[in-house]
A = this chain, B = another copy of it.
Amino acid sequence: MACSVQLVARPKDPAVRTLLIERAAAMLRAREPITLRSLVAGTGVSTMAVYTHFEGMDGLWQALRQEGFTRLGTRLTTVPVSDDPVRDLAALAAAYLDNALTHPDLYRVMFDASVDLEDLPAADATLEHLVQAARRGRDAGRFRADVVPLELAIQSWTIGHGLVSLVATGPLPRETLDHGPFMLRALFTACGDDPDRCRASVEQGWHRPAPDDERSRPA
């Protein structure tokens, strides 16, 4: 009895889901408080749509977190892979910071609440970009052979996230981000990279981030 699940019902419209997420992201950008009623106001859909598609507001926030990770992931994908892995690693960090500062509210949503287990794959996918660059750096001989790519990636992420959260939602001014290259150089040279080559690579990667993939959307 290979009876597949029988769908004899009205299918839920996927357009409604994306509509709500995009509207929520827009309200986030506009710094408007996102409430159930204000979210659906003007969209023509009713409050119940949030429950059929997200099972409540918590589910909406989680979907918003995933959307944030997705956008961050596509942003990191635009960073070109060059023949200089250290430069690429710096460029990834710069892109990370740029993305977080362009969408500070979305970034806060991503890391505010205790991350659900549902979000871990998305976060891992983000981290994977850094891991690959770190591995290429090691295989190219820039880092010592005993450098674990995952660990270097985590350390780079720590610097990026520390800077961003102290600046975007924290007490430090924006100039604090200028410490980024120095800290990355300190980390990379501690992993074995030559100081002069490292300085040049980080300089290049830091100041030439890929353009933002901002999905501009007319009101």
**A161 close to chain B: CB less than 8 A:** yes
- Give the residues from 166 to 201 in chain A that come closer than 8 angstroms, CB to CB, to chain B: 166, 169-172, 176, 179, 182-183, 185-187, 189-191
Main SS at interface, chain A:
helix
**A163 close to chain B: CB less than 8 A:** yes
Number of this chain's copies in the complex: 2
B151 in contact with A179 (CB, 8 Å): yes
Given A112-B112, A159-B162: A154 in contact with B172 (beta carbons within 8 A): yes
Q: How far is the CB of A128 from chain B (nearest CB, A)?
A: 13
Given A154-B176, A154-B179, A171-B123: A166 in contact with B159 (beta carbons within 8 A): no
Q: How far is the CB of A36 from chain B (nearest CB, A)?
A: 18
> In the complex, what residues of B have CB within 8 A of residue A113's CB?
169
Q: A111-B170, A189-B190 are in contact. List 10 more A-B contacts (CB 8 A).
A: A112-B112, A124-B171, A154-B176, A155-B179, A157-B162, A157-B166, A159-B162, A162-B162, A165-B165, A183-B187
Query: Which of B124, B154, B190 has a CB less than 8 Å from the CB of A185?
Result: B190
Q: How large is the interface on A (under 10, 10 to 19, 20 to 34, 35 or more residues)?
A: 35 or more
> In the complex, what residues of B have CB within 8 A of residue A183's CB?
155, 158-159, 187
Query: Which of B123, B158, B159, B169 has a CB less than 8 Å from the CB of A111?
Result: B169
Query: Which of B158, B171, B182 has a CB less than 8 Å from the CB of A159?
Result: B158
Q: How far is the CB of A168 from chain B (nearest CB, A)?
A: 9
> In the complex, what residues of B have CB within 8 A of residue A119's CB?
171
A179 to B159, CA, bound (A): 12
> In the complex, what residues of B have CB within 8 A of residue A165's CB?
111, 161-162, 165
Can you list 20 contacts pairing A with B, beta carbon distance less than 8 Å?
A111-B169, A111-B170, A112-B112, A112-B169, A113-B169, A115-B169, A115-B170, A115-B171, A120-B171, A123-B171, A124-B171, A151-B179, A154-B172, A155-B182, A155-B183, A159-B162, A161-B165, A161-B166, A186-B189, A186-B191
